[in-house]
């Protein structure tokens, strides 16, 4: 089941600072309280008790973080009802899309799109992403996060209009050939020009050289899903984001 592969990837991506709480692995970011950097992944086929969910909530509350999970419900079908019983609410259900690197469809654009590794370019990528997602101004922590992605075999890409970075994205550190395409961002001034698709295509194809055979992503809305479909991504399942406010 591909959902189990995604769960294995998410647990690996949580790194050595991940926290185990009963049948959950939790990823915490001590520098950033954004929901997307703090979430739990259930064990496959987990059937958590009310006490185990209470302990999970306590782990988040103790760190001033919002209790939240990102996972594939097909791989842990008993978790959702248990979370509902504890007061959790669905943040979003998103299609889980996959595209083999050799099936990528190129998107022609009038900007330069390239993979980057130097700190100056990583700063550019961080600024574009934070601006596009209305996050606080980029910091050294954002750049360090990119550096960890690169050190683990992942990729970072930017789109340049002249010398100005107008788009960015990343492909996470691979785990058993699986990695997530994330953070695809384009400045408002350059949207609807195919840049998001071009960044996605470059990351997806580039992942093959890093041993990534199964890149996946979860589009936030139908518009983004159409962009990724044009690149070659197809639905294989569903991802659930669920939160306790």
Is 156's pLDDT higher than 80? yes
pLDDT in tens, 6-39: 999 999 999 888 999 999 999 999 999 999 999 9
Q: What is the greatest pairwise CA distance in the chain? A: 56
How many CA atoms lie less than 13 Å away from 83 in the CB half-sphere?
Answer: 29
Q: For the residues of 159-223, what is the DSSP string, one character each?
A: EEETTEEEEEEEEPPPBTTEEEEEEEEE-GGGTTSSHHHHHHHHHHHHGGGGT--EEEE--SSHH
What is the token pair recorded at 238? 């569903």
Q: Is residue 53 within 8 Å of residue 206, measured between CB atoms?
A: no
pLDDT tens per residue, range 207-234: 999 899 999 999 999 999 999 999 999 9
Q: Is the pLDDT of residue 1 over 90?
A: no
Pick the closest to residue 70 from 145, 6, 17, 134 (CA basis).
6
pLDDT (tens digit, 9 = 90+) per residue, 53-102? 999 999 999 999 999 999 999 999 999 999 999 999 999 999 999 999 99
* 107 — pLDDT class (breaks 50, 70, 90): confident
pLDDT for position 79: 98
Task: Indicate whether 170 pLDDT > 90.
Answer: yes
Burial class (CB in 10 A: 0-12, 13-18, 19+), 215: buried
Q: Which contiguous run of DSSP H or E holds residue 91?
A: strand 89-98
């Amino acid at each position: 089941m591909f959902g189990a592969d995604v769960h294995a990837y998410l647990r690996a991506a949580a790194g050595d600072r991940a926290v185990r709480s009963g049948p959950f692995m939790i990823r915490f970011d001590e520098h950033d309280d954004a929901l997307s950097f703090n979430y739990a992944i259930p064990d496959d086929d987990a059937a958590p008790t009310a006490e185990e969910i209470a302990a999970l909530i306590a782990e988040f509350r103790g760190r001033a973080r919002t209790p939240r999970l990102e996972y594939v419900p097909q791989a842990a079908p008993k978790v959702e009802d248990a979370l509902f019983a504890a007061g959790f609410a669905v943040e979003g259900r998103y299609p889980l899309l996959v595209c083999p690197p050799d099936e990528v469809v190129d998107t022609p654009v009038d900007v330069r799109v390239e993979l980057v590794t130097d700190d100056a370019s990583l700063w550019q990528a961080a600024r574009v992403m934070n601006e596009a997602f209305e996050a606080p101004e980029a910091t050294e922590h954002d750049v360090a996060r990119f550096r960890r992605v690169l050190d683990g075999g992942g990729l970072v890409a930017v789109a340049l209009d002249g010398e100005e970075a107008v788009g960015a994205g990343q492909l996470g550190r691979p785990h058993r050939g699986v990695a997530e395409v994330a953070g695809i961002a384009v400045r408002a001034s350059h949207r609807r020009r195919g840049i998001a698709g071009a960044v996605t295509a470059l990351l997806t194809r580039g992942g093959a050289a890093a041993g990534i055979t199964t890149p996946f992503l979860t589009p936030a809305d139908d518009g983004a899903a159409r962009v990724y479909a044009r690149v070659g991504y197809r639905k294989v399942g569903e991802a659930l984001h669920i939160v306790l406010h």
